[in-house]
Amino acid sequence: MHIDTTVTEAELAWQEQALCAQTGPDFFFPDPGSSVREAKRICRLCDMRSACLAYALDNDERFGVWGGLSEKERQSLRREKVSRSA
């Protein structure tokens, strides 16, 4: 069975308003072991944070800071959701 996972332009409209679009990817996709503190600070100021996090969770984004959470934090959030629904 094929599931269409195509994301429409309307679903990505939040990206144009996100603060990360104005700062570039370096803060949000740092080298391994680098700090994500600055990315999280920018995310806290961004009105698109919840849409960004929802996108990352829905699309299983595994790298970078999305919606103010690191890869490990999103992974923990996914595990919490799975354990609550079990």
Q: Are 69 and 80 in contact (CB under 8 A)?
A: no
Identify the three-state secondary structure at position 32: coil
Residues at the annotated binding site for [4Fe-4S] cluster? Answer: 20, 43, 46, 52
Residues at the annotated binding site? Answer: 20, 43, 46, 52
Q: How far is CA 57 from CA 5, 60, 65, 86, in A?
A: 13, 5, 12, 18
Q: Are 52 and 14 in contact (CB under 8 A)?
A: yes
Residue type, 46: C
